[in-house]
Amino acid sequence: MSSIRFLRTFVAAARGGSFAAAADQVALTQAAVGQQMRALEAEMKKTLFDKTGRTMVLSPAGHLLLPRAEELLAQYESMRRDLQDQRQIAGTIKLGSLISAMGLLSSTLAQLKSLHPNLEVELRVREQTQLMQDVVSGELDAAVVVERQWPEVPGLLWTPCYDETLTVIANSGIAAPDTSIASLFASQPFIRFDRRTPTGARIDRILRRLQLVPKEFLELNSLLAIAELVRKNVGFTMAPLLKNFDWESDPALCVLQLPGRPIARRLGMLENGRRSHITGVVREEMLAHLRRMKPGS
DNA sequence: AACGAATGTTGCTGCTCACG
DNA sequence: CGTGAGCAGCAACATTCGTT
């Protein structure tokens, strides 16, 4: 079966005047060049070289083939260059994220920036509902959000990326791995994640289901601020274990699993589809980044 | 993992040409 | 005319790669 390589060898032989010269140029042995040329002649059903003794010249069919082979090789090279250029993406995209996903997203974007220096990213931190509206309206090209029922909008693309398990997080001064969750709820002030957010509302439903009645102390709409207050032992909380923040290794914090089957929220990327050639690259880089991370971190 | 096709190398033979 | 150099062809074997 002939190929671009065979044509390249043919051109080298035609220009070099011998199979030996062609072999030098295309880094093969003379025997391999001869085999390729015989295969090419069989494919074309024509003799391409006239050999009289040690001299070898192009046959009429060879003369006909040479310029066309060179043209084909030039087109092939041009096609290859174009594809290589396309791998570099450029332009500006508007990305949104929940503040809690910023840790992961920022390290993803840092990696992306080194791969695509001409890519500019405008990053907006907003809450879930606003992010969803902005992606649908086109205000944002894509956003990292918690999984929900999405509206039926043409082009809207949802890709689940990772799960965050709901846990109880307390200061290590008041809790150890064997501390019962019920005793924390009975004795310690509770810092609640804003019930107006979908995740906060879900935490509220779980508390009811587990019949845990907290000693309400504060209600905040920032998981990072809540974590900081827990570090200062202002109270304890129930919150998703955020990716890329490594609270489990934090000596000031004690992370406790909820009883029963683990409950998680699913995060992913919502793209509005209009600039999917760029947002797709961000999505794939984020997935690759997640694969590189050690499990559970 | 096994298999087969494609493709390559190695080592040889034979032909031609240039030169003494 | 004998001989060595240069070249192509052939057969055997090795390697790579895709498929089953």
Q: Which of A132, A139, A106 is nearest to A270 (CA)?
A: A132
Q: Which residues touch strand C (CB under 7 A)?
A: A 13, 18-21, 30-31, 33-34, 37-38, 51, 54, 56
Band (pLDDT 50/70/90 cuts) for residue A191 is very high
Do the bridges between strand A236-240 and strand A157-171 make them parallel or antiparallel, or are there none, so unpaired?
A: antiparallel
Residue A145: per-residue pLDDT: 93
Residue A194: per-residue pLDDT: 92
Domains of chain A: 2-80 (1.10.10.10), 86-158+267-292 (3.40.190.10), 163-264 (3.40.190.290)
Assign 3-state DSSP to chain A and report helix, strand, coil percentages, each to 5: 45, 25, 30
Residue A3: per-residue pLDDT: 66
Residue A203: per-residue pLDDT: 93
Q: A29: Cβ under 7 Å from strand B?
A: yes
For the stretch A270-282, pLDDT in tens is: 998 888 888 888 8
pLDDT at A295 over 60: no
Q: Which nucleotide is nearest to A27 (CA to C1')?
A: B8
Longest Cα–Cα distance of chain A, Å, equals 103
Band (pLDDT 50/70/90 cuts) for residue A25 is confident
Beta-ladder partners of A98: none
Question: CA A12 → C1' C18, Å?
Answer: 29
Band (pLDDT 50/70/90 cuts) for residue A84 is low
Q: Which nucleotide is nearest to A32 (CA to C1')?
A: B8
* Mean pLDDT (chain A, rounded): 84
Q: Which of A263, A264, A224, A225 is nearest to A244 (CA)?
A: A224
Q: Which nucleotides of B are covered by protein (CB under 7 A)?
A: 6-12, 15-17
Sign of CA dihedral A18, A21, A25, A28: positive
Q: Which nucleotide is nearest to A6 (CA to C1')?
A: B7
Distance CA A18, CA A21 (A): 5
Residue A289: per-residue pLDDT: 81
Question: CA A63 → C1' B17, Å?
Answer: 26
Which residue, chain included where needed, has tokens 């957010």?
A197
Residue A52: per-residue pLDDT: 65
Q: Which nucleotides of C are covered by protein (CB under 7 A)?
A: 6-11
Band (pLDDT 50/70/90 cuts) for residue A293 is low
Distance CA A180, CA A199 (A): 23
Residue A238: per-residue pLDDT: 95
Residue A297: per-residue pLDDT: 40
**DSSP string for A124-146:** EE--HHHHHHHHHHTSSSEEEEE
Question: CA A124 → C1' C18, Å?
Answer: 47
Question: Which residues, 6 or more positions from A36, have their beta carbon under 8 angstroms from its beta carbon?
Answer: A2, A5, A6, A9, A10, A28
pLDDT at A49 over 90: no
pTM: 0.58
